[in-house]
Structure 1
C-alpha cells in the first residue's frame, strides 16, 4: 500500500486535474454537458485510479489501476487535442504536463 502524498505521479496528476478544471471553467455554457463534463471526468479519473490502485494490497492490482489511469490519460489527451485545435495557447501547457505524467505512469507500471 502506498501513501498518496508520497507518490509524485499522483501529485502531478492532481495538478493536471486542477488545471483542467480551471481551463474548462471558461468553456462556453453550451459545452457544460459536453466537452466540459467529458474533460473534467477524464482529468479526475487519472488521480482517482492511481489512488485506488495505491490502496490495493498487491502490485498486480496497483498495476491494473495504473493501466486504467493510462486509458484516462488517452481520453484526456484526446479532449485536449480537440481544444488545442480550437484554442491552442490555452491548452498547450496542460498537454505538455499530460505527456510528462503519462511517461511516469508507464515507468511505474
Structure 2
C-alpha cells in the first residue's frame, strides 16, 4: 500500500463512509424510521463495511487486512440485502434504491480489485524482490570463476 498512511486515504473506505451516511439519512424518514429493527440492522451493516476496512488496515499484516476486507464484503452484501427489504416494504423510492444498491456494487468492485492485487502471485509484501547489490554480484562472480571465496574483510 505504497503511499497510503491512513485508512481514511483509501478511496473505497471514503466511498463506504459516504454510502453509510446516505443510508442513515434515508432511515430517518418515515415510514422507514418506524421499522426500528430494519433501521438498526441496515445502519449497523453499512457502518461495518467501513469499520472492517479500518480495522484490517490497522492490523498491520497483509493477510489480516485481506481477511478483514472479506468481512467488509460480507457487511456490504448484508446491507444490499437490507436495501432490497426496504424497497420491498416501500421504504425507498425506486431511484433511491437503485442508486444505493449501485453504490454498494461499485464499492465491492473496488475492494475486490484491491484484494486481488494483494493476493495475486508476485504481489504484496510477501513477494517484494530483494535485489543484490552490485558489489555482492561481483563477488559472487569472483567466487564462481576464481573458485575462491571472497576475503572475510569483504563479507557482509
Q: Could you tell me how far 1:27 is from its partner in structure 2?
A: 4.0
Q: Could you tell me how far 1:82 is from its partner in structure 2?
A: 1.5
Compare relative contact order (CA 8 Å, sep 6+) and give the higher one, 1 or 2: 1
Structure (1 or 2) with the larger CA radius of gyration: 2
Give 1:92-103 correspondences, 5 Å limit. Answer: 92-103=98-109
Runs of 4+ in 1 over 6 A off after TM superposition: none
Pairwise CA RMSD: 1.5
Residue 26 of structure 1 aligns to a residue in which SS? coil
Deviates more, 1:1-10 or 1:36-45: 1-10
CA contact (8 A) 1:84 1:92 kept: no
Residue 69 of structure 1 aligns to a residue in which SS? helix
Structure 2 gaps of 5+ residues are 116-156
Alignment equivalent of 1:5, drawn from 5, 8, 12: 8
TM-score of the aligned structures, taking structure 1 as reference length:
0.91
Alignment equivalent of 1:65, drawn from 64, 68, 74: 68
TM-score of the aligned structures, taking structure 2 as reference length:
0.65
Alignment equivalent of 2:21, drawn from 18, 30, 53: 18
Tell me the distance in 2 between the aligned counterparts of 1:57 and 1:23.
35
Q: Structure 1 residues 27 and 41, CA, compared in 2 at 3 Å: closer, same or farther?
A: farther
Between Structure 1 and Structure 2, the one with more helix by share is 1
Count residues in correspondence: 108
